């Protein structure tokens, strides 16, 4: 009765079979697919194995399950697309360019000198540190990072050399399991950023702004500016 554990696992064969039925149009969005018991008999496997296949397809938003009712082909897919935002360094190296960084500003700052946006986020913090870092690909400036960190929560931060250490890499080691929110905005490039990026003033740029929490407190607020045509977010559905 034991399974010979063929090259392709049973749950994968079941997934492939279901995907083939959807792909070929036999099962369209909203269609009820066979029950777990039915698939158990069709494929000659235990219910747990069928369950795993269906659960994974549900996690991938391809199926939708309703307890007491059945399993259905999901409606979405087009409507929910994921974009992956990587580390700057990874992004730059992935397009085959040599990466380096230059930290041009690193100072402790007073709470009342913060921009309004930052004030609303760092309500309970007194000790804040700001860094400005330019990220280069093959010697060309591709991204400007402006970051504010609550060094009450990450005391070592101000003692790092950010020409060598990536701020994100450092923070994730010190403050694991963070949670954040971000926005991508198209903006005209302010003067100072334009100079650093080597583009004309009022060139359109992508601004990614993110603040990151740990245990309910904002650890860091970061703005990443990049010239619109030299860099972009990219992803696969």
Q: What are the residues binding its own copies (CB under 8 A)? A: 19, 22-23, 25, 28-29, 48, 59, 62, 73, 75-87, 90, 168-169, 171-173, 176-188, 202, 204-206, 210, 212, 215, 227-229, 232-237
Residue 140 to residue 163: CA distance in whole angstroms: 15
**Cα–Cα distances in angstroms (integers) from residue 187 to residues 77, 113, 148, 194, 227, in the given order:** 30, 23, 20, 12, 10
Containing 223, the helix (H) or strand (E) segment is strand 217-227
The contacts of residue 23 (CB under 8 Å, 6+ apart) are: none
Query: By C-beta, is 46 or 108 nearer to its own copies?
Result: 46
| Distance of closest approach, residue 62 Cβ to its own copies, in angstroms | 7
DSSP designation for 155 = G
- Residue 136: count other Cβ atoms within 10 Å of its Cβ: 17
Q: Of these partners, DNA, its own copies, none, which one is at the site of residue 119 (CB under 5 to 8 Å by kind)?
A: none
Q: Which stretch binds DNA (CB under 7 A): 42-50, 105-113, 121-129, 148-156?
A: 42-50
Cα 157 from chain centre: 23
The answer to the question of residue 54 lying near DNA (CB under 7 A) is yes
| Distance of closest approach, residue 208 Cβ to its own copies, in angstroms | 9
∠ at Cα 232 (166, 92), nearest 5°?
35
Q: Which stretch binds DNA (CB under 7 A): 9-17, 18-26, 86-94, 182-190?
A: 9-17
Contact yes or no for 224/208 (Cβ under 8 A): yes
Residue 114 to residue 178: CA distance in whole angstroms: 23
| Distance of closest approach, residue 55 Cβ to DNA, in angstroms | 6
Binding residue for DNA, selected from 19, 21, 51, 170, defined by CB under 7 A: 51
Query: By C-beta, is 32 or 232 nearer to its own copies?
Result: 232
Q: Which stretch binds DNA (CB under 7 A): 37-45, 162-170, 173-181, 220-228?
A: 37-45
Rg of the chain (C-alpha set): 24
| Distance of closest approach, residue 1 Cβ to its own copies, in angstroms | 18
Tell me which residues touch DNA (CB under 7 A): 1-5, 9-11, 35-38, 44-49, 51-52, 54-55, 65-71
């Amino acid at each position: 009765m034991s399974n010979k554990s063929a090259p392709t696992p049973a749950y994968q064969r079941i997934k492939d079979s279901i995907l083939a039925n959807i792909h070929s149009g036999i099962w369209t969005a909203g269609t009820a697919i066979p029950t777990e018991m039915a698939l158990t008999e069709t494929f000659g496997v235990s219910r747990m194995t069928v369950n795993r296949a269906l659960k994974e397809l549900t996690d991938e938003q391809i199926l939708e399950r309703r307890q007491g009712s059945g399993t259905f082909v999901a409606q979405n897919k087009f409507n929910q697309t994921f974009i992956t935002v990587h580390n700057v360094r990874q992004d730059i190296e992935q397009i085959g360019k040599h990466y380096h960084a230059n930290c041009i500003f690193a100072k402790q700052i007073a709470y009342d000198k913060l921009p309004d946006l930052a004030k609303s986020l760092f309500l309970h913090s007194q000790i804040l540190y700001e860094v400005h870092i330019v990220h280069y690909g093959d010697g060309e400036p591709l991204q400007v990072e402006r970051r504010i960190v609550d060094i009450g929560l990450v005391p070592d931060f101000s003692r790092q050399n950010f020409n060598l250490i990536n701020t994100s890499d450092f923070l994730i080691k010190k403050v694991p399991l963070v949670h954040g929110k971000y926005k991508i905005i198209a903006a005209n490039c302010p003067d100072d950023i334009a100079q650093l990026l080597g583009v004309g003033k009022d060139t359109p740029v992508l601004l990614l702004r993110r603040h990151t929490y740990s245990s309910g407190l904002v650890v860091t607020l970061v703005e990443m500016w990049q010239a619109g045509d030299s860099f972009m977010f990219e992803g696969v559905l």
